[in-house]
Amino acid sequence: MNGKLFKLKYCATCEMYRAPRSIHCDDCNACIQKLDHHCPWVGNCVGKRNYKYFIAFINSTSLLIAYMIAISIWTLAMLAD
């Protein structure tokens, strides 16, 4: 790869050679390339192929929480009048 030699690792659970920078996830029972973590909220691993979608999910959830807090404060202010 890029003129450098590297050693392929064998995953005994998946019974196959893993891609470089892949790690076996015990929760998903699969080898995930560039594994970041296994997310219990989403229910799958966050890795190379879905990292940008996970970040979009976190950002949209944060915006929703901020919106709900703003609406709650506005509603409580209207009830106080």
Catalytic residues: 39
Of 47, 51, 43, the closest CA to residue 22 belongs to: 47
How far is 77 from 81, CA to CA, in rounded Å?
Answer: 7
Instruction: Name the residue among 28, 34, 37 with its Cα closest to residue 48.
Output: 34
